[in-house]
Every structure is written in C-alpha cells, then in structure tokens.
Chains A and B, each alone.
Chain A
Amino acid sequence: MTRSEETAWPADLSISSIPAIEAVDLTRRYQLEGVAVDALRGVSLRIDQGEFAAIVGPSGSGKSTLMHLLGCLDRPTSGVLRVNGVEMSGLSESRLAELRNRTIGFVFQSFHLLARTSALDNVALPLVYRGAGRAERRSRATAALEAVGLGHRMGHRPSQMSGGEQQRVAIARALVGEPKVLLADEPTGNLDTRNGAEVMAILDRLNSESGVAVVLVTHDQEIAAHARRQIHVRDGLIELDTATAQATGQATGQATEGAAEGGRPL
C-alpha cells in the first residue's frame, strides 16, 4: 500500500490490495478508579475486503474493546489502525464519525433500533448523517430492507416486529450506507435458534453477494463456525488466528498477508 492511498476515500477504491481493516500492535488501556487496566496488549490483524471473520473469546477477553477499536468508536492507546486504508489516529472527531458512516456498519446484540420510528426510517438513519436527500434515503433504505427480506415491513415499528425481524432491520441499516466492513457484535445473542440461524444465513449471503467484509464478534463457537476465519482473543491478545495458523500449518513459506488473502471467500 502506498502513502497516497491512505488518505483517499474508499468509494473510489475497491482495489482488493487495500485491506478493509489493518491493525498493528494495538493496545488499549483503561483507567478504572485510578487503576490501569490493559484490555488489549498488542493486537495485530488484517481483515481483507470481502472477508468473513469471527473474533471469538470469553467475556473479558478484550474482544469487545477490539470491536470498538475496529469500528472507530474508540481510539487505541497505542498502535496503528487503518480502516479501508485510512489511518485513524490523525482524524478529528468529525472525520472519524464520517469514516464510521461511510465504511463501517454495526449490528448489535440488542438491535439498537429507534423505538417509535418505522423500519424504513431506522434503516435510513445513517444516510441522514451523510446528508443524503429524502428521495435517495427512501429508495436506498427500501432496497436495503428488501435485501434482508423485509420489503413488506417498511412501515412497521420495532415493537410490531419479532426479534429476528428487528435484527434484520438492523442489518439493513448497517448495509444501507454500503460500508466496507460490517461489525456484528453477538448478532444472535438475543435471538432463538431459528431466528439466529436466519440472521446468520443473511449475513453469509450478504457477505458473498455484496462483498462486504463481515466481522463477527461472539463468545459462541457454534456461531463463530459460520465464519471462514476465527480469531481467538484471550487476555487482550490474539491467541489463535486460523488464517495464520493455516499459513504456518501449510508451511509453504508464503507471507502471512498472502495467506490471509487465501482465507478470503473470493
């Protein structure tokens, strides 16, 4: 990757050589009542365009902290993080918000839909912050809802929908802005098995159809198994990354980065 690409906006660049996310030696230290807690102690990883990866770990392992960093909701204490080629440390608060808006889509365990707001308006919300006009917001939100099979629920409010449907609305909202990375934090945690399976199927399909990279954050090995790559986090460190494990296991002498590309679904 060249310097000039780092500052360019993602919309112009769908070149697969730019990783969706690239983290180098990330640390995150919290001050809890005067005591320093190291939630992340040096994490390096690379998520390529269109990859489907799962960050797995027990609670307290630092996987949530890692997800917040990858989603640009938080800043690392040290280390370098590039999202779609943009180095985040130098960005102002509003540039960071813009980066989130354009390149990251979030799906949360508890859906985080605005109550008393229709599915369509919930889905269109990221476009509001992008300054898109009403007509554009409507048409894109409609398309996104149809993509998750909820074209018939556009006027419904969250309270009028099942949990599975709500999470699909949340997925539509995450995708409406055509992000590079979809970060899903325990997306099935509040759903029954059937709805959970359906949500996972949608994520799987969207990943292969639209080429958005999906990063699943979960403690559930079964859910994590949906991903083609598992990154195990424990005590603020990456314990095991199936992509690099494969590389070393194959012992073909390939560079780690090349091996990571091998993990891509393309």
Chain B
Amino acid sequence: MRGREAFVMALEALRVNRLRSALTMLGVIIGVLAVVILVSVGTGAKDAVEKQISGLGTNIILVVPGQLTVGAAPTQSRLSLADAAYVRRVVGDPAKVTVSLQSGETVRVGRTEAFVTIVGTDQNLTNIFDRPLAKGRHLSETDVDTRRRVAVLGAEVAAKMFGDIDPIGRQVSIAGARFRVVGVYATVGQTFGLSRDQEVHVPVTTAQRMIGVDRINGLAVGASGPDEIQPLQEKVVAALAARYPGEKFSAVTQTQLLGTIGSVLGMLTGVLAAIAGISLLVGGVGVSNIMLVSVRERTREIGLRKALGARQRDVLAQFLIEAVLLTTIGGVIGIVLGVGGAVAIRSLTEVPASITWWSIALAFGVSAAVGVFFGVAPARRAARLDPVIALRAE
C-alpha cells in the first residue's frame, strides 16, 4: 500500500465518525491550548522582568551590606558616605560610584499629599543608571556638598502633585521640610513591581539629615564594559571585607540578577508547561481509548482487509496514521486557539503573554508524539488480529 492511500483511508475513517473524532480531538486541543497559553504567559512574565532589569542601565554592580538572598531579612546597613569615598578610591573613577539611601515619606504640595520613596543620592546617579530627565536638571555635586533642599521628582509624583503646572522652581514639602523642585524625570516604568516613577530624588546628605542617620543603604558601581564587571565586583567586595573584617558584603550584577530571576521564572514556566502537559497526556489516553474502541468495532473490516491482501504493516499504518491525525489535527487547532488566547490575554489584561515559536513547535511535536505513543497499542492490536477470527466477529 502506498503512503497516500493509508493517509486517505485514515482521514476517511475520521470523517465517517465525525462527532467521535471531534470529541477525542477535544482532549488534545485543550492540552495543547493550555501548553501554548501557559508557556506564553510564563515567557511573557520572564521577558517583562528582564526588560525591567535591563531598563535600569548597563553594566551595573549593586553593593549592599549582608548576604543578598531571596527572602532574607534586610541587614542593618553600616555603610557610610566615608565608605562610598573609600570605594571610589578603590574603583579609581569617582564618577562611576553612586550611593542610595531610601525612606518612605509623605510629600505635600498645598493640599495634595502622596506617600513616596525618597531616594538620597548624588550627582553620579546618571553616570550609572538610565534616568532621563523630562525637565530641569539632575542633582549636582554642589547640591550634595552643601546639603541643598532640592528635589528631582519622578514622573508620576510630578503629575500627581502639579498636574499641568510646570513644577520646576516650585516648593514641595517632604516630611515637613520644604524642598525646591529642580528637575522632573521622564517616565521609566516599574522594577519588581515598584514604580520608579513614584520616587523623589534628593541629595544624599540632605536625606541623611532629614531622616537622622549617617548611613547609606547601598552603593552602585558602574563598570566600563561587560568584561570589567566581574573583576570590579570582586575588587569592591574584597576591599569592603578588608575594611570591615568579619562582615559580609554582597555585590550583585544585573547579569546575576537576570540569571537568578530568569531561572526562577523559567522554572515556573516549566512547571506550568508540565501541568498543561498532563492534560495533553490525558488527551492522549482518550485517543488510545477511542482507537481501541475503533479497532474492536472494525474487527470485521480488518479481517476483510487482511483477506484482500493487507499486510500487518498496512493495517498498523492505517490505525497509527488515524491516531496521529487525531492528535496532530487537534494539536493544530489547539495551537491556533492557544495563540489566539495568548493574544487576547495580552490585549485584555496586564499579563504579558509572549508567544514563542519553540512552544508552538514543541506543542505540535508533542501532540504528534502522543498520537504515535498512544496509537501504537491499538494499531498493533489491529495489525495482529487473526483474519479468520476477525472475519467471524460480530
């Protein structure tokens, strides 16, 4: 028998039992649909987070006291501006080191109030992070040195406090103290669910006095190129460890952050895909079940085909192709619905669903494999039927 004939025969058999074929396919359709949608949601989440991290800037090393692990309680910082100066000497390029001291404070303009993150930093921030201005200017060295009460507002803060009014040169009250707005940042979006547009940047020295501390939360060091990151990271950590024997300091790079979060989200995507895969497996069992029923029903037909000269492999091919057609047609329908579903999710909700070609190829490949795997047993049963017994079957 030619391959084309086997194909036509199998297609014909599926057409004859339309409803049954459709219901059997439904199991596979749902499984493939689930795989495509869940993988696209997982991949979309990963892409979004990675974009947020790389949106910070490039070649950044974040230095914080203590051990940096997911879920660990924040360590009380004992880093100070003197340590920042020390790190500047170690790094060699003072402009490539900036500091950060954060605190949640209430900001008020007239009667409008907002609770925002006050970030005490310095003029070097923009050398390391991508923080474009919409208006005005960045913090200057003089601002830091003279503890000026000036502030650069995040885009959302500016919009909320001042609306259409130009905030530059106007006053805001931060934790009761009056600050003059010198700049407004452009919209930059979120990182890890925190909106960086809800920050207000003030000189770190001013922030220390306002909060009443002389520490800082951490340092950020900018490397001059990707190859510089690792040596610089080690150098800074070693220098701080030498200055404070017995204490831990952590330095993480964007790449490491990306790697960690990427692997967590990758794992999540894998788990989602596996759960969806189980439903595909159940669909496969359905195919197997229906094929067994079909073989039993068509026992006489199989006997006849054998009497007319069908070899075992002709019968095997016919039923195997039938099973694989069931799952691959179901797979294609599932992929189409899954892609449609992912597009709908992306446009109707905030969930970033991203369709990946590998998940589509995988879903199709798996559904074909499911057809072969679950079709083999029924097809072999059909192929091995004794024609004499099969012809006599009711």
**A residues engaging B (CB < 8 A)?**
68, 71, 73-74, 93-94, 97-98, 100-102, 106, 108, 112, 114, 116-117, 125-126, 128-131, 173, 177
| Cβ contact of B1, chosen from A93, A117, A131, cutoff 8 A | A131
A94 to B300, CA, bound (A): 19
Q: List CB contacts (< 8 Å) of B279-315 with chain A.
A: 300-301, 303-314
B387 interface hit (Cβ, 8 Å): yes
Main secondary structure of the interface of B (DSSP, over half): helix
Interchain Cβ contacts under 8 Å between A and B, 19 examples? A71-B307, A73-B388, A74-B386, A74-B388, A94-B312, A97-B310, A97-B312, A100-B306, A100-B308, A100-B309, A106-B307, A108-B304, A112-B304, A112-B391, A126-B308, A129-B305, A129-B309, A129-B310, A131-B2
B348 interface hit (Cβ, 8 Å): no
- Evaluate whether A97 and B16 lie within 8 angstroms (CB atoms) in the complex, with A74-B388, A129-B1, A131-B2 already known: no
- Assess the B307–A129 pair: CB atoms within 8 A: no
| Cβ contact of A173, chosen from B16, B308, B314, B386, cutoff 8 A | B308
A126 to B9, CA, bound (A): 13
- Assess the A94–B301 pair: CB atoms within 8 A: no
Chain B residues with Cβ below 8 Å from A98 are 309, 311
- Assess the B312–A101 pair: CB atoms within 8 A: no
B247 interface hit (Cβ, 8 Å): no
Given contacts A100-B308, A112-B300, A129-B310, 15 further A-B contacts (CB under 8 A): A71-B307, A73-B306, A73-B387, A97-B310, A97-B312, A97-B314, A101-B308, A101-B309, A108-B304, A112-B303, A114-B301, A125-B308, A126-B308, A129-B1, A129-B309
Chain B residues with Cβ below 8 Å from A93 are 311-312
Chain B residues with Cβ below 8 Å from A68 are 388
Instruction: Give A49 Cβ to nearest chain B Cβ, in Å.
Output: 20
B145 interface hit (Cβ, 8 Å): no
Please report the total number of B residues contacting A with Cβ < 8 Å: 24
Chain B residues with Cβ below 8 Å from A116 are 16
The 5 A-B residue pairs with the shortest CB-CB distance in the complex, in nearest-first order? A101-B309, A94-B311, A129-B309, A97-B311, A126-B308
- Evaluate whether A102 and B309 lie within 8 angstroms (CB atoms) in the complex, with A112-B300, A112-B304, A131-B1 already known: yes
Which residue of chain B is the closest to A93 with respect to CB atoms?
B312
Chain A residues with Cβ below 8 Å from B306 are 73, 97, 100
Which residue of chain A is the closest to B310 with respect to CB atoms?
A129
A98 to B308, CA, bound (A): 9
- Evaluate whether A129 and B308 lie within 8 angstroms (CB atoms) in the complex, with A73-B387, A73-B388, A94-B313 already known: yes
Chain B residues with Cβ below 8 Å from A117 are 12
Chain B residues with Cβ below 8 Å from A97 are 306, 309-312, 314
Which residue of chain B is the closest to A102 with respect to CB atoms?
B309
| Cβ contact of A100, chosen from B12, B300, B307, B386, cutoff 8 A | B307
B234 interface hit (Cβ, 8 Å): no
Q: List CB contacts (< 8 Å) of B311-351 with chain A.
A: 311-314
Instruction: Give B310 Cβ to nearest chain A Cβ, in Å.
Output: 5
A108 to B388, CA, bound (A): 12
Chain B residues with Cβ below 8 Å from A74 are 386-388
B93 interface hit (Cβ, 8 Å): no
Which residue of chain B is the closest to A112 with respect to CB atoms?
B304
- Assess the A128–B1 pair: CB atoms within 8 A: yes
Instruction: Give A32 Cβ to nearest chain B Cβ, in Å.
Output: 12
B5 interface hit (Cβ, 8 Å): yes
Instruction: Give A137 Cβ to nearest chain B Cβ, in Å.
Output: 9
- Assess the A125–B305 pair: CB atoms within 8 A: yes
Q: List CB contacts (< 8 Å) of B376-394 with chain A.
A: 386-388, 391
Chain A residues with Cβ below 8 Å from B313 are 94
Chain B residues with Cβ below 8 Å from A173 are 308
A170 to B306, CA, bound (A): 15
A201 to B87, CA, bound (A): 110
| Cβ contact of B391, chosen from A94, A100, A108, A131, cutoff 8 A | A108
Chain A residues with Cβ below 8 Å from B309 are 97-98, 100-102, 126, 129-130, 177
Chain A residues with Cβ below 8 Å from B387 are 73-74
Instruction: Give B99 Cβ to nearest chain A Cβ, in Å.
Output: 81
Q: Pick from A71, A114, A126 the residue with the most CB of B within 10 Å.
A: A114
Q: Pick from B304, B307, B312, B386 the residue with the most CB of A within 10 Å.
A: B307
Instruction: Give A136 Cβ to nearest chain B Cβ, in Å.
Output: 12
- Assess the B16–A129 pair: CB atoms within 8 A: no
Chain B residues with Cβ below 8 Å from A73 are 306-307, 387-388, 391
A212 to B386, CA, bound (A): 27
Instruction: Give B294 Cβ to nearest chain A Cβ, in Å.
Output: 14
Which residue of chain B is the closest to A110 with respect to CB atoms?
B300
Instruction: Give B254 Cβ to nearest chain A Cβ, in Å.
Output: 63
Chain A residues with Cβ below 8 Å from B303 are 112
Chain A residues with Cβ below 8 Å from B314 are 97, 129
A125 to B2, CA, bound (A): 12
A131 to B3, CA, bound (A): 9
Chain A residues with Cβ below 8 Å from B12 are 117
A73 to B307, CA, bound (A): 7
Chain A residues with Cβ below 8 Å from B312 are 93-94, 97
Instruction: Give B261 Cβ to nearest chain A Cβ, in Å.
Output: 58
Instruction: Give A209 Cβ to nearest chain B Cβ, in Å.
Output: 23
Chain A residues with Cβ below 8 Å from B16 are 116
Chain A residues with Cβ below 8 Å from B305 are 125, 129
Which residue of chain B is the closest to A177 with respect to CB atoms?
B309
Chain B residues with Cβ below 8 Å from A71 are 307
- Evaluate whether A129 and B311 lie within 8 angstroms (CB atoms) in the complex, with A73-B306, A112-B300, A116-B16 already known: yes
Which residue of chain A is the closest to B4 with respect to CB atoms?
A134
Which residue of chain A is the closest to B15 with respect to CB atoms?
A116
Which residue of chain B is the closest to A176 with respect to CB atoms?
B308
A93 to B387, CA, bound (A): 12
Which residue of chain A is the closest to B6 with respect to CB atoms?
A128
